[in-house]
Structure formats: structure tokens, C-alpha cells
A = this chain, B = another copy of it.
Amino acid sequence: MATEERAIQSVWTRPRRTRDQPALSQAQIVAEAVRILDAEGVDALSMRRLGTALNAGATSLYRHVANRDELIELVVDEVYGEIAVPDDDDPAGWREAAAVGAQSVRAMILRHPWIASLLGSVGLSYLGPNVMRLNERLLAVFVTAGFPGDEAEQAISSVTAYVIGMGTSEAAWLTTVAKSGRSEREWTEQLRPAVVEATREHPHQRERIAQDDADPERLRDEKFRYGLERMLDGLETRLKR
């Protein structure tokens, strides 16, 4: 689009860059990247696409970001910044705090399902400032709850692993649903024949797909809560011993 504007002008009236501050900043780039990812998914994010969305050339981005991988790292930490955890002196107790944090992480993943396909390739995500802040808060919660330091760390990893695992599964599902252009319910219905075929020789699973009137979103909520409660139950037994 910037190219088109200039095409109208002549060589003598040069495009004057009247900038009080740099046209591009890392924060702007990351924010726009998240917007594209949310709107069109992970396949739509290319450097050229991101550049034009910012009225900039593709390669201009490389002044503020080393390469695509680094951009991904930044984007992942950015969305981690949306997560809120109660303080460790929250009167509701460690269990409630952990549950709220877990639900908050899940909500973030469902808001940005594309993150599921990035978490497996970003190696050092936990060094990002927002992830550090989140882990520090959680660590405080578990330590004041009575877990010894090293076990508190393991406890957090356990809860986080569960949340990310379930979130990954949900996000992958939601992504394919979105790609189908249909609602979650319609898509489930349309998938039924394939499911029936796949469960032909698996009686236990065949039995499981009976309920067809249930709200799929509600089912996912309950499934997530079930596993979370079990994990917290398991952790609780370590305290009252």
C-alpha cells in the first residue's frame, strides 16, 4: 500500500518521512503479529504479510527482530503476559490460587490457539519476562502453602504440564474446527461417520460416543476441570501427611 501511494507521486516529490519516533518498534511488531495470528492462524504469519500490515517492507522488520524464530519467542511471551495469578497471600488458599492460574492459562490458550503449534518448538520460553513473572508468583503461592522449595517447583511443573497438554489438545481441535468454517457442533456432527468407522473395532470407545445432545464446549470445560482437580488432589495429599 505504501508502494501504491508512491507510484502516484513523481520522482521529485519524494516521500518525506516525518517521524517523531521510529515508525517500527519491536512492541508494535509483536502486537501486530499476535493480531494476525489470532485472526488468520499460524500459516498466515509471514514476514512479508506482517510487514505490509505495518505499512512497512518485509525486510524492515529485521532491524528490530533478529529473525522469525526470535519473533515467535517474543510473541509467545507476549501472550503469556495476559495471564493473571493471585498473590500468595490470597485468603482463598493455594489450591484456589493454583486453579485460577490454571484456568487463566487455559483461557489464554483458547484465545490464541495457534500457540499450541509453537510451544513445542520454542525451547527457552521460560526465560521470557512474562513467563518468569508468572512462575515466580506461582512459586510463591506453593511455597507459602507449605511445599519445600524443590517440591514446589515440581508441583508447578506438574500443573503447568497438565494445563499445556490439555490446552494443546483443545487448541488443535479448535483449529481444525475453525478451518472447517463450521461451528464446533456442526463439525462434530459431520465428523460422526468417520468416528463410527474408526471405533468399529473398539467397543469401549464406541460406547463413549453415545451422547450427541451435549454442548461440546461445556464438555471440554468439565473435562479440563476434572483433570485439574485430580492433579490438585494429588498435590494436596503431599501437604497433609
Contact of A227 among B154, B176, B198, B226 (CB under 8 A): B154
In the complex, are the beta carbons of B223 and A230 less than 8 A apart?
Answer: no
Which residues of chain B have C-beta atoms less than 8 A from A155's C-beta? 226, 230
- Complex: how many Å from CA A230 to CA B152? 13
Closest to A163 in B: B165
Which residues of chain B have C-beta atoms less than 8 A from A154's C-beta? 222-223, 226-227
> Can you list the 8 inter-chain pairs with the closest CB atoms, starting with the nearest?
A123-B176, A165-B165, A158-B227, A116-B120, A230-B234, A161-B165, A234-B234, A233-B234
In the complex, chain A residues 113-168 whose Cβ is within 8 Å of any chain B Cβ:
115-125, 127, 129, 132-133, 135-136, 139-140, 143, 149-151, 153-155, 157-158, 160-168
- Complex: how many Å from CA A69 to CA B57? 30
A residues neighboring B (CB under 8 Å):
42, 115-125, 127, 129, 132-133, 135-136, 139-140, 143, 149-151, 153-155, 157-158, 160-169, 171-173, 175-177, 179, 191, 194-195, 198-199, 202-205, 207-208, 222-223, 226-227, 229-235, 237-238
Q: Is the interface of A mostly helix, strand, loop or mixed?
A: helix
Quote the shortest CB–CB distance from A85 to chain B (angstroms): 13
Quote the shortest CB–CB distance from A154 to chain B (angstroms): 4
In the complex, are the beta carbons of B132 and A205 less than 8 A apart?
Answer: yes
In the complex, are the beta carbons of A172 and B205 less than 8 A apart?
Answer: no
- Complex: how many Å from CA A155 to CA B234? 13
- Given the interface pairs A139-B205, A149-B208, the reply to whether A166 lies near B165 with Cβ below 8 Å is yes
- Complex: how many Å from CA A173 to CA B167? 19
